[in-house]
Amino acid sequence: MQGREILVAVTGGIAAYKAAYLVSRLTQAGAGVSVMMTESAEKFVGPATFAALTGRSVARHSFDPDQHPLGAHIERTRNIDLFCVVPATAGFLANAAAGIADDLVSTSYLAAPCPVLVAPAMNSRMWDHPAVQRNVAALRQDGVHFVDPASGWLACRDSGAGRMAEPDLILEAISRLLPPQA
């Protein structure tokens, strides 16, 4: 991971706390890691956590001319090797599949000039819904890489598919997408 630039986008789900562990592991592996968050993600984990783990400011708004005069979606995606969305909510998957750019993360997805890896997390009924599965199929067809959710105990007190993959599995997928530099 040494010398690689990874942009981690955190969307609003309870699994956002796992993103902090992933970001820490990526940083420890020598990657340059930047984080952006949706407003909903901030309900679960604060930006100060990610700033401390990366040593970089966290992008939180589409329009922040003081921090990103060209737009965070342009500046943050300009020189990245990988765009990773953890957790990827049903809302993000729908926006990405439809090409809707109505927040910082979905706009950045469309601007990312590199491989994209997503790790979905949601209630099992949502994950199994035909609309979500259509969006997943469309994104796979577009070349998006997935670390599929696991089955198990969910925060909603149900059990089933939808639990975000463990950060170490996501880290392995990132390593496969970004072989060591020569």
- Active-site positions? 156
Q: Which amino acid is at 95?
A: N
Phi, psi of 65 (to 5 degrees): -60, -25
Helix axes 16-28, 167-177, angle to 10 degrees: 50
CB of 84 within 8 A of CB of 9? yes
Helices 104-111 & 90-98, crossing angle to 10 degrees? 40
Instruction: Please say whether the beta carbons of 22 and 31 come within 8 A.
Output: no
* DSSP codes of every residue in 23-68: HHHHHHTT-EEEEEE-TTGGGTS-HHHHHHHHSSPEE--S--TTT-
- Burial of 120 per CB tally in 10 Å (0-12, 13-18, 19+): buried
